[in-house]
Structure 1
Amino acid sequence: MEINSKHKKTLDDIFETPIKSNISWSDIESMLIALGAEVSEGRGSRVRIVLNGVKATFHRPNPEKETDKGAVKSMRRFLTESGIKEVADTGETGNDEI
């Protein structure tokens, strides 16, 4: 599956060094959905995400719209564990099932 240029930019931003703190949470959610993630609401500001069988829970930033550096670092780990890290380089998931 190919991701569009906006999702690719969001993915690149997540893996950029130094860690960015101005990535919009809505852009991250949109990218995750494009990658085939199941995103569901939890209690309060919690968001449950399942991607390629890997589960994680994140807190949606509130009242800010941007994620902080800690959340970006956690998202990096989650995407790497989900096998998505290579998408940042190729633009393709490498998973024919998605």
Structure 2
Amino acid sequence: MNHRHRKILHALFAHPISGNINFKNVEHMLVELGAEIDNRSGARIGIKLNGHTIAVHHAHKSLPIDEVVQVRKFLETCGIDPADYPL
């Protein structure tokens, strides 16, 4: 995983929760982790990683704070820990 993707991963787990994380960067970081991303109806996308699935709203710019929390919990259930990817 390159440095930019690790920065995005650490931003998702940062406290306080950031409301300024670009959705496309999160998408690219998830693909780098091995996630499969598919478009669903409306403005939703499905993400599959390590046998877990989540559906999130496709934000045009920044990821809303409630979805940052949702993606963070999803990554935790998938066994992704930012400590495994040091900056």
The TM-score bracket by the shorter chain reads over 0.9
Aligned-pair identity (%) = 35
Q: Which runs of 5+ in 2 are unaligned?
A: none
For structure 1, the residue ranges without an aligned partner over 5 or more in a row are 93-98
Instruction: Quote the residue 2:23 is aligned against.
Output: 25
Q: What is the correspondence of 1:62-73 to structure 2 with a 5 Å cutoff?
A: 62=60, 65-73=61-69
TM-score norm. by structure 2 comes to 0.95
Larger radius of gyration: 1
After the TM superposition, list the runs of 4 or more consecutive aligned residues in structure 1 that deviate by more than 6 angstroms. none
Aligned residues: 86
Superposition pairs for residues 1-98 of structure 1, below 5 Å? Answer: 3-62=1-60, 65-84=61-80, 86=81, 88-91=82-85
SS at 1:75's partner residue?
Answer: helix
Shift of 1:68: 0.9
TM-score (norm 1): 0.84
How far off its partner does 1:90 sit? 2.2
Coordinate RMSD, CA, aligned: 1.1
**3-state SS of paired residue (2:21):** coil
